[in-house]
């Protein structure tokens, strides 16, 4: 029986340690890239699996489902979606500075369209991936570690020859930290690496002479060049990005603003949001210079066309787009990566330093292994060359030996026991033999055809080549300068074949400033039907359709187009609505749900009253609650900047049943659920602040509550049906507040 062992510890300490272990696991094993190869584990495993499957750049494409399944089964047991998402991103040239996967099929678009399912798409490695990321894996330059179930081996890091962390950037969210690194130009980064190798004391400012800033695949313009030195020195900061706008001539003498490049941050749904933002600017009358906007983007590139009015101020309009939309955006840089087994925020020089150290380590292991192989070849070659000089003796030994072992022993030690020699003098010669074991094995495996004169010459030539290689490898391993030259030579070759021109412009620009055109004030009429659809029309249109408008709408408010409306709800909240936010159009247009243009939520609260703020500010507002609390509040108190504010205080279980603007001297009639009525003068109610509950306007019996209220002006007649009887409200007895009233 196993003896139980109880460990007493603080629960908080166990939780803290467990959470830290979990967080570090996510950080190291999933979310953050390694500074050495710039890859997250899922990317590294996917590329390695493609290499193992033989899906090279010069071979046919293979189904992505096969790649994903193989990667998940062998190396990455975290679900197929994470693997396929990583594969798709590595194939999208609009996201990566250098695409690592060659995708065939629908791999999504810059406008946010998702990739097709992995059973439809195919992929293979790009040539640069094969030659720059995976080329030296067979030379034992990196450590291989067991996979999750210890049935396979996988590389702990790929032997990438360029700083991929800078070239392709990275993004990832871990636990308590995140990384966001922009992509850079491959050729420029290579130049910066070479400059660092020549001068390790190089400053960040000097590095920026080679890498002036990020190079986004979408192009665009970086407009805060002077801040980049600080950003790249610390590894964090904000890069300001703008799209590229060109002016073209349109039809009818109109000018077109054409957006040909977008900020990197607009990739995906950002393009659709930009179009909606421009529509919003037009609808809200922020600008009247835009006639039409269309998205003509295709596989050939971005092309968003904005048609403008004749005589429009194009510079002002361009600045408005920068200011009011995501055509100008910020890219938050946080150069966080795993370095020496722990997460670290690094500047550009630190990233390059880690990369160069990694390259020296790779080269040391590579050339140590190559030297070892060349020394082994040298040993065998020298043995074969020496054997050619005494080949007759060797043949005599082989023919006279009873076993291979006997012949091999003789070649290595000169021991001749048991061997029948054809010539007696051969025994003495045989005793002088002293080949190594590898040489003896190679001699015994030597084919007779190799004894042809030309073959012997080739053997000597091969030996000379081996000796040169040994001298070269020893020089590389013994002299750091020689190793640096080899690394830089490889970098030059990579730059020559794969470098592309810079797409992103780096400059300094002043902040976009535009003059917002003042909207002319005019009288309008706001109409809202009983379904909550609201719209705005001009005064003349209303007068022309007054009868239909009055019969079809619940609220009809004559106000100014620059004004605000106050929407009061039964929960005691007031929602402020700008009249400019209400769709302006024709009389027969349906309008828009009021929920869409305010914080009002029709599913959680009920609208009690809608009024013009300017009208309310000139008057007072009367509030009556379900439990009979009543008060009057100055309308000026509702002139607030917040879109939603508390209009009154309510006791527990209470709600608002009636709100109205009053002018003074009105009669207020309460009607309860039990058909009790009370008529009082509004002058009897006190004026109170928004934070007050109010006073008892009517005294309620148990389980009764105020159902409705009516306002009567002097001389006004109004009848309502109460308990099956028609009651003239103006004939009700005028009473004092706080009474029970009369039953009907």
Residues with a known catalytic role:
120
In angstroms, the CA 684 to CA 697 distance is: 9
In angstroms, the CA 115 to CA 122 distance is: 11
Q: Contact, 691 vs 649, CB < 8 A?
A: yes
Picking from 711, 565, 555, the residue whose alpha carbon sits closest to that of residue 638 is 565
Kindly give, in sequence order, each residue whose CB lies less than 8 Å from that of residue 382, ignoring residues fewer than 6 positions away: 439, 463
Burial letters for 486-517: b for 16+ Cβ neighbours within 10 Å, e otherwise?
Answer: bbbebbeebbeebbeebbbbbeeeeebebeee
Picking from 516, 527, 581, 575, the residue whose alpha carbon sits closest to that of residue 555 is 527
Phi, psi of 247 (to 5 degrees): -105, 125
In angstroms, the CA 68 to CA 80 distance is: 6
Lookup: tokens for 137: 């894996």
- Report DSSP state, residue 484: H
**Beta-bridge mates of residue 264:** none
Q: Contact, 370 vs 469, CB < 8 A?
A: yes
What distance lies between CA 239 and its chain's CA centroid?
Answer: 15
**Beta-bridge mates of residue 246:** 258
In angstroms, the CA 397 to CA 411 distance is: 8
Lookup: tokens for 370: 């190559």
- Report DSSP state, residue 67: H
In angstroms, the CA 320 to CA 308 distance is: 13
Give the three-class secondary structure for 335.
Answer: coil
Q: Contact, 172 vs 189, CB < 8 A?
A: no
Kindly give, in sequence order, each residue whose CB lies less than 8 Å from that of residue 503, ignoring residues fewer than 6 positions away: 215, 216, 217, 218, 219, 220, 261
Burial class (CB in 10 A: 0-12, 13-18, 19+), 137: middle
Quick one: which H or E segment has residue 207?
Answer: helix 204-207
In angstroms, the CA 4 to CA 27 distance is: 35
Helices then strands, each counted (H, E), the chain:
21, 35
What distance lies between CA 164 and its chain's CA centroid?
Answer: 18
In angstroms, the CA 562 to CA 581 distance is: 10
Lookup: tokens for 694: 């109010």
In angstroms, the CA 16 to CA 176 distance is: 14
Three-state DSSP string of 410-422: HHHHCCCCCCCCC
**Beta-bridge mates of residue 611:** 566
Lookup: tokens for 576: 């402020």
Other Cβ atoms within 10 Å of 371 Cβ, number? 17
């Amino acid at each position: 029986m196993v003896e139980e062992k109880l460990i007493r510890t603080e629960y908080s300490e166990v939780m803290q340690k467990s959470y830290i272990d979990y967080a570090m696991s996510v950080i190291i094993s999933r979310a953050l890239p390694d500074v050495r190869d710039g890859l997250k584990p899922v990317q590294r495993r996917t590329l390695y699996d493609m290499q193992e499957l033989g899906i090279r750049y010069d071979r046919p494409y293979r189904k992505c489902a096969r790649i994903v399944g193989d990667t998940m089964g062998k190396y990455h047991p975290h679900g197929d979606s994470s693997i396929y998402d990583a594969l798709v991103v590595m194939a999208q040239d609009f996201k990566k500075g250098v695409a690592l996967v060659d995708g065939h099929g629908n791999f999504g678009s810059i406008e946010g369209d998702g990739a097709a399912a992995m059973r439809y798409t195919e992929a293979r490695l790009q040539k640069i991936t094969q030659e720059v990321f995976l080329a030296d894996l067979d030379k034992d330059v990196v450590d291989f570690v067991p996979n999750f179930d210890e049935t396979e081996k996988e590389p702990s890091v790929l032997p990438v020859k360029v700083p991929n962390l800078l070239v392709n950037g990275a993004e990832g969210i871990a636990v308590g930290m995140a990384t966001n690194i922009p992509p850079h130009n491959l050729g420029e980064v290579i130049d910066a690496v070479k400059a660092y190798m020549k001068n390790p004391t190089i400053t960040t400012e000097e590095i920026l002479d080679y890498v002036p800033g990020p190079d986004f695949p979408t192009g665009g313009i970086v407009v805060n060049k002077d801040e980049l030195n600080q950003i790249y020195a610390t590894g964090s900061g904000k890069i300001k990005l703008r799209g590229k706008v060109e002016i073209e001539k349109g039809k009818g003498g109109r000018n077109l603003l054409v957006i040909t490049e977008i900020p990197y941050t607009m990739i995906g749904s950002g393009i659709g949001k930009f179009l909606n933002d421009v529509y919003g600017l037009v609808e809200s009358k922020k600008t009247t210079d835009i006639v039409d906007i269309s998205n003509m983007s295709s596989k050939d590139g971005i092309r968003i066309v904005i048609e403008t009015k004749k005589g429009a101020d194009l510079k002002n309009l361009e600045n408005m787009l920068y200011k009011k939309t995501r055509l100008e955006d910020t890219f938050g840089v946080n150069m966080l990566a795993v370095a020496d087994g722990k997460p670290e925020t690094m500047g550009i020089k630190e990233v390059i330093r880690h990369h160069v150290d990694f390259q020296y380590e790779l080269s040391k292991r590579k050339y140590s292994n190559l030297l070892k192989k060349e020394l082994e070849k040298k040993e065998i070659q020298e043995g074969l060359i020496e054997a050619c000089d005494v080949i007759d003796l060797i043949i005599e030994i082989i023919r006279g030996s009873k076993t291979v072992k006997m012949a091999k022993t003789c070649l290595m030690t000169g021991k001749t026991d048991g061997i029948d020699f054809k010539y007696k003098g051969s025994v003495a010669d045989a005793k002088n033999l002293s080949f190594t074991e590898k040489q003896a094995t190679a001699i015994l495996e030597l084919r007779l055809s190799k004894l042809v004169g030309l073959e012997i010459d080739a053997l000597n030539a091969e030996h000379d080549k081996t000796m040169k290689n040994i001298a070269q490898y020893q020089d590389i391993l013994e002299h750091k300068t020689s190793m640096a030259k080899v690394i830089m030579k490889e970098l030059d070759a990579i730059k020559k074949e794969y470098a592309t021109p810079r797409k992103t412009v780096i400059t300094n620009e002043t902040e976009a400033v535009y003059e917002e055109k003042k909207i002319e004030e005019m009288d309008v009429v706001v109409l809202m039907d009983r379904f909550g659809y609201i719209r705005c029309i001009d005064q003349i249109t209303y007068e022309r359709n007054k009868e239909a408008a009055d019969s079809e709408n619940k609220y009809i408010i004559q106000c100014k187009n620059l004004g605000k409306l106050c929407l009061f709800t039964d929960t005691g909240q007031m929602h402020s609505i700008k009249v400019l936010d209400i769709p302006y159009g024709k009389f027969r247009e349906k309008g828009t749900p009021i929920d869409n243009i305010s914080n009002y939520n029709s599913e959680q609260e009920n609208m009690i009253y809608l009024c013009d703020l300017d009208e309310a500010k000139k008057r007072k507002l009367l509030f009556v609650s379900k439990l009979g609390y009543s008060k009057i509040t100055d309308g000026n108190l509702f002139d607030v900047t917040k879109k939603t504010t508390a209009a009154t205080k309510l006791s527990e279980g209470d709600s608002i049943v009636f709100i109205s603007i009053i002018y003074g001297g009105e009669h207020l009639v309460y009607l309860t659920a039990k058909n009790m009525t009370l008529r009082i003068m509004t002058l009897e109610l006190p004026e109170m602040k928004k934070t007050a509950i109010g006073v008892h306007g009517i005294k309620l019996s148990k389980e009764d509550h105020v159902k409705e209220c009516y306002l009567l002006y002097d001389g006004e007649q109004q009848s309502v049906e109460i308990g099956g009887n028609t009651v003239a409200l103006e004939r009700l007895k005028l009473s004092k507040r706080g009474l029970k009233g009369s039953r009907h």
